[in-house]
Structure 1
Amino acid sequence: MTHSESKIPNSQKSLLKNWPLVSAIIVYCVFQLHDMAYLEILSLWAVSPRSLGGLSFTTADVGQVLAITCVGLLVFQLFVYPLMERNFGPVMVSRAGAVLSIPLLASYPYIALLSGFCLSIVLNCASVLKNVLSVSISTGLLILQNRAVPQEQRGASNGVSMCLMSFAKTIGPAAGGSLLSWAQRRQDADILPGDQLVFFILNVIEFLGLLLNFKPFLHEPEDNIPKSKHEESADQENGIQERRSQSELP
């Protein structure tokens, strides 16, 4: 960095040159694409007939599942996530959410083998858990985006993030519906028949997002990386020395 560049205030620096921000936005968009496709597929899959690998739910049944899921999300966001983020950090929470989502999604085709009250209980639990994990990932990445820029750039960075996220969410439902329609026409396929193909592709996208959650792609902001005890003590000593020098000034 040249001397002239070092004098440029943070508010005037290009957001596109801020790789911690750009990488967090890209990973965020990947997971948003996955989440929108999942939500579209879940509703269509639930109301599909058993002959096509669905659950033969009514729209009222689907609404009940979504309502229970929303209540679980509300409780999680208010009481659980703040504690997790404080203890483990947003990056670790996002990675854990992606890892746990993969086996959960892989179990969805086998949920269709259940019936009656057992099916309702298992599907509600799976839906709550899946959405809790998705919200953990998204919230962690949003925190990273805001920590990657100074205060005066957060409005612009959030605008860019929301714009790209909206584009990803536009693709998600169309891609999810088309994928489910195609998969239901191949019930007798030898490899990944029916809805197994759907949730396999969702897992591929989830796994891609998980890979992007690590270095060298995702760079954590410097103030988001926890300092060692030695660094913290050094910072405290420097602060004490600065206060002493200021107090000694006439």
Structure 2
Amino acid sequence: MENFGEPLLHYHENCPGCKVDQAKELKQDVTFRNVFSIWIVVLCSSLPIASLFPYLYFMVKDFNIAKTEEDISYYAGYVGSAYMLGRALTSIFWGMIADRYGRKPVVIIGIISVVIFNTLFGLCTSFWMAVMMRFFLGGLNGLLGPMKAYSSEIFREEYQALGQSTVAAAWGVGLVFGPALGGYFAQPVQKYPNIFPKDSFWDKFPYFLPCFIVSAMALAVAISCIWLPETFHNHKVSTENIEALENGTNETDKNKLIEKDESLLKNWPLMSSIIVYCVFAIHDIAFSEIFSLWTVSPRRMGGLNFRTNDVGNVLAVSGMAIIMFQLGLYQSVQKICGPIVLARIAAVLSIPILQSFPFMTMFSGITLYISIYSASILKNLFIEIISTGLFILQNKAVDQHQRGVANGICITAMSACKVIGPAAGGAILTWSQKRMDASFLPGPHLVFFVLNVIEGLALLLTFKPFLTERKTPSEQLH
């Protein structure tokens, strides 16, 4: 290994982090178990985030809080934002806990929060109850930051792209399979009357079934996390590193140790990648909500008048495409052009695809389905390509002992931006649906144009001198 920490340290017998480092040195780290562990934990965290989007329109309508049909999207935005507000307020705290006590405790607490509060969300009977359950779910589900750090620590440097692409793939699949699951299983009495009888529990709580399925999966994952390898070192690493370096390493390596305690806020490679990621995050969460709300909206309001099942089908196919690309092709493509260039290409191609969505209301039948499936697959693939590239930059920008807090800062900033996304997206969609006869950007054309403006801004920020990349020791040798 090129990193200064691992080959210079003697391994502590009872240290879980040392056991992981030994596996990396022996090249026993890239295993199905490690990849699958990252996959299921991140998937479990991301499924509840967007699973409500296909039925959120109908759920808010059932709450009878919206005065007009056009106002439903406005209130739906607040339910979508509540999760991100809770996560924004607690992510740095969970990152600090992960750096002090290990990644594993934070992961288990986060998954248990999904079991409890996602189940309660399915039992909500009022708007404010729904907002509070989503807020608590976001506040206690702090595992994404630690898992981003974990995925860069469990593998050798040359396989960190695999770790980050696994996180991004699982996250992306959750954000598209979640809505698919919600679309298939919400309102089961209407869709599957032979299985779920009228006036039963499922009729009183029509949105409980998809929440229950996600929570049941989370419970199984929580149990499996007992065997999750821990990358945290339970002994003081820095002093031993210094002794090792003083006994036989050069001045450059000593300087790395001195620099590693530099304030994270002064680490521009980290902060620039977080800022760019946050701008993309506003766009991504707004798109996820707007897409589902737009597709189920009536044709007279510029929507496609889809059923929740139809939305589920589109997103399920998109999820399969993400799995195949991220776990099969991403690492090879990223090695050719690098994470930043690949992210720029994805952002550029996203712009015409995004603006094509409102024109699909002109289609029907097989033409409509080919168009919407193709555009959805490509758009969701590009979102995950961009996220993966920025994940790689963020984790390269810091050393292990700061990764939990660094990712906590990232998730806090990203969540704060994603508070804006659903609320603003719902409000703009409502406004756009009230101006169907406007001469400039009528109806949904306006909301997709706004999304493209945000995408374009994020694209510009990926260029130097704004976005910079920290070179690893092995890269500096070339």
User: Which range, TM-score by smaller chain?
Assistant: 0.7 to 0.9
Encode CA deviations 1:47-105: one digit per residue, 9 max, x unaligned: 11111111010111111111111111111111121111111110011111111101111
The match for 1:243 is: none
Q: In 2, Cα distance between the equivalents of 1:72 and 1:139?
A: 15
1:222 lines up with 2:471 in the alignment: yes
**Counterparts of 2:267 and 2:308 in 1: how far apart (Å)?**
45
CA distance 1:31–1:7, change in 2 (3 Å): closer
Equivalent residue runs for 1:88-99 within 5 Å? 88-99=337-348
For 1:26 and 1:191, the matched residues in 2 are separated by: 32
Q: Which residue of 2 aligns with 1:73?
A: 322
2:375 equivalent in structure 1 = 126
Moved over 4 A (4+): 224-227
Shift of 1:223: 3.4
C-alpha contact 1:147 1:224 (8 A) present in aligned 2: no
Q: 1:37 to 1:225 in 2, by over 3 A?
A: farther
Q: Which has the higher contact order (CA 8 A, sep 6+)?
A: 1
Post-superposition CA distance 1:142-187 (Å, at most 9, x none): 1001111123222221111111112222221111111111001011
RMSD between aligned alpha carbons?
1.8
TM-score (norm 2): 0.45
* Structure 2 residue 470 is the aligned partner of structure 1 residue 199: no
Equivalent position of 2:425 in the other structure: 176
CA distance in 2 between partners of 1:174 and 1:82 (Å): 35
2: CA distance between counterparts of 1:7 and 1:201? Answer: 44
Aligned residues: 224
Alpha-carbon distance change, 203 to 99 in structure 1, aligned in 2, over 3 angstroms: same
Q: Give the TM-score, by structure 1 length.
A: 0.85
Structure 1 86/193 Cα, relative in aligned 2: closer, same or farther at 3 Å? same
Write the distance in 2 (CA, Å) between the matches of 1:54 and 1:149.
Answer: 45
- The answer to whether 1:149 aligns with 2:436 is no
Contact 1:111-1:122 within 8 A present in 2 as well: yes
| Residue 160 (1) aligns with residue 409 (2) | yes
Deviates most, 153-162 or 44-53: 153-162
SS in structure 1 of the partner of residue 362 of structure 2: coil
Does the residue aligned with 1:106 lie in a helix, a strand or coil?
helix
Equivalent residue of 1:222, what SS?
coil
Map 1:94-113 onto structure 2 (within 5 A).
94-113=343-362
Contact 1:104 1:126 in 2 (8 A): yes
Letter in 1 for 2:472: D
* 1:24-63 → structure 2 map (5 Å cutoff): 24-63=273-312
5+ residue gaps, structure 1 = 1-5, 233-250
- Matched residues in 1 for 2:256 and 2:388: separation? 33
Q: Distance in 2 between matches of 1:205 and 1:144?
A: 21
Q: Which amino acid aligns with 2:324?
A: V
Q: Aligned-pair distance for 1:108? A: 1.1
- Aligned to 1:62, the other structure's residue is in SS state helix
TM-superposed deviation, 1:11: 3.4
Structure 2 residue runs of 5 or longer lacking an equivalent are 1-254
